[in-house]
Structure 1
Amino acid sequence: MRRLIDPPKVEGGLVLVTALAGIAVNIAAAVCLSKANRSSLNVEGAYQHILNDLFAFIGTAVSGLIVVLTGFVQADAIATLVVVVLMAKAGYGLLRESGRVFLEAAPAHIDPDALGDRLVREPAVTEVHDLHVWQITSGQNALSAHVLVDDAADCHTTRRDLEKFLAAEYGITHSTLQVDHAEHAELVGAGAGHCEDAHGPVHRAGPHDH
């Protein structure tokens, strides 16, 4: 804030030339990183770092030009504050995503309830419970669930079909599915012979409570 109230002397021309050189270097670096696999938080963090540097140099160039044209030296401090806000925004996004990994939360783009409802619409599936979806690390999601199927269905075939479905539709390639036959229609349910204390919602075909 002192630089806003009592700013030091700023060499606008030197600031502008230095900023333009920085812009060129960071544009080249950003183009290279944009082609990498940004599903990795490490790569995304590096990319955001380069972008923030680019924004900083753009702000510096603008402030340098203002100083050269108008002599308004406070422009340099104002540009710095704008860059700080952009850095805080990028940092918050990275912390939020890394927090999902540390807390083993569901990926942001997957709603476990909606996924459970979708699974029970697959052939032979009558119920899904004990459904858990979490992130192992950035770009790698895992799922576990207890699945009940029709008595006439083949458990192994159903499990393989569900694994293929999860990989194709949700990108979940790490799945652990316990597949059992529903003993008969009136016993289908978390409190009747299967998982008497089911963890989380019980998903069945047709209307049901979560």
Structure 2
Amino acid sequence: MHDHAPAGGIRGASSRRLLAFSLALTATVMVVQVVGALWSGSLALLADAAHMFTDSSALVIALIASAVAARPADARNTYGYRRAEVFGALVNAVILIVLSAWVAVEGVGRLVRGDEVEVAGGVMLVIACVGLLANAVSLYLLSAAQKTSINVRGAYLEVLGDLVGSALVIVAAIVVATTGWMAADALASLVIAALIVPRAVSLLREVFSVLGERVPTGTDVREIRDHLLGAEGVVAVHDVHVWQLTRGAPVFTAHVVVDPEILSAEGTGRLLSQLQGCLAEHFDVEHSTFQFEPAGHVEHDVHH
């Protein structure tokens, strides 16, 4: 006995249009930043451009994954293709780690060698301001969608980090332009690299949590069991399982032992609606499956 209500997520055409717009904006600014980095000689601006490149990659992956995830379930993929979003997020996390390593090596190398690369602070400042504005727009567009999609959350986190990166480049540009201290540029690139790592680790942790079918963060299985036990006619609840197909798509199954009178009086439909309503209202679980068992029933499956 179950409910097949669709889980939330970023799978609609309007959401994909938002991703496409963010991609076009991010890619355009990335090209501007590359040109500006070559023109000004700024390593921090080039690092920010490389980060924008991963933002673009993340958005491309998000678009592909959301389109794949929208495919209906079939006989071989009974839950559909929502896990495509999780694999897309995994690729994003790997890209973030590789990027942070590259930026760190370049930044440390420039500081150790004592390279006095002449940086045009004015050009660097203007380009960084353009990047900051573009990231703010993309962040606003993705803010709602990232709450229901782990894949889009990966793209959102990258844009958020790049917003901070653009702010750091602006600070470094002001220092270079006003004091002539060129090392500020390399230091800013190292800070950008340091900001990337925690976001990548956080995203990887969430990906492994979903793939490992762990209970979603913020979900208390004992609390759910207590709610179900409060329903009239429910004697016991066991074999409770809660996991996610992707962010915002929790799945719940449980064996519910009920008073035999409920079964004989054909009250199962009312009880099923009550239990599903409880999960949907209190725990945001839209897909729930229950196996009703009469009190005194002994299962044939033995779990060790």
Look up the match of 2:160.
51
Asked whether the equivalents of residues 258 and 295 of structure 2 are also in contact (C-alpha less than 8 Å), the reply is: yes
SS at match of 1:137: coil
Aligned residue among 140, 148, 160 for 2:249: 140
Asked whether the equivalents of residues 20 and 61 of structure 1 are also in contact (C-alpha less than 8 Å), the reply is: yes
Asked whether the equivalents of residues 149 and 155 of structure 1 are also in contact (C-alpha less than 8 Å), the reply is: no
Alignment of 1:1-210 (within 5 A): 1-5=108-112, 6-7=114-115, 8-36=117-145, 38-153=147-262, 154-183=267-296, 193-194=298-299, 197-198=302-303
Look up the match of 1:203.
none
Asked whether the equivalents of residues 130 and 198 of structure 1 are also in contact (C-alpha less than 8 Å), the reply is: no
Instruction: Return the alpha-carbon distance in structure 1 between the equivalents of residues 282 and 303 of structure 2.
Output: 26
The two structures, once aligned, show a CA RMSD in angstroms of 2.0
Instruction: Return the alpha-carbon distance in structure 2 between the equivalents of residues 31 and 193 of structure 1.
Output: 54
The higher relative CO (CA closer than 8 Å, separation ≥ 6) is in 2
After superposition, the C-alpha distances for 1:1-58 in whole angstroms (9 at most, x for unaligned) are 1222313322222211111111122112222222435311222122122212211111
After superposition, the C-alpha distances for 1:140-184 in whole angstroms (9 at most, x for unaligned) are 11111110112322333222210111111111111110112214x
SS at match of 1:10: coil
Look up the match of 1:207.
none
SS at match of 2:261: coil
Normalised to the residue count of structure 1, the TM-score between the two structures is: 0.82
Asked whether the equivalents of residues 227 and 278 of structure 2 are also in contact (C-alpha less than 8 Å), the reply is: no
Q: CA deviation at 1:195?
A: 6.3
Which consecutive residues of structure 1, in runs of 5 or more, have no partner in the other structure?
184-191, 200-210
Instruction: Return the alpha-carbon distance in structure 2 between the equivalents of residues 173 and 42 of structure 1.
Output: 20
Report the count of equivalent residues: 191
Which consecutive residues of structure 2, in runs of 5 or more, have no partner in the other structure?
1-107
Cα pair distance change 1:195/1:125, threshold 3 Å:
farther
Instruction: Return the alpha-carbon distance in structure 2 between the equivalents of residues 197 and 157 of structure 1.
Output: 30
Normalised to the residue count of structure 2, the TM-score between the two structures is: 0.58
Look up the match of 1:204.
none
After superposition, the C-alpha distances for 1:53-87 in whole angstroms (9 at most, x for unaligned) are 21111111100101112222211122112211221
Instruction: Return the alpha-carbon distance in structure 1 between the equivalents of residues 137 and 301 of structure 2.
Output: 59
Look up the match of 1:189.
none
Asked whether the equivalents of residues 159 and 179 of structure 1 are also in contact (C-alpha less than 8 Å), the reply is: no
Deviating runs (4+, > 4 A) in structure 1? none
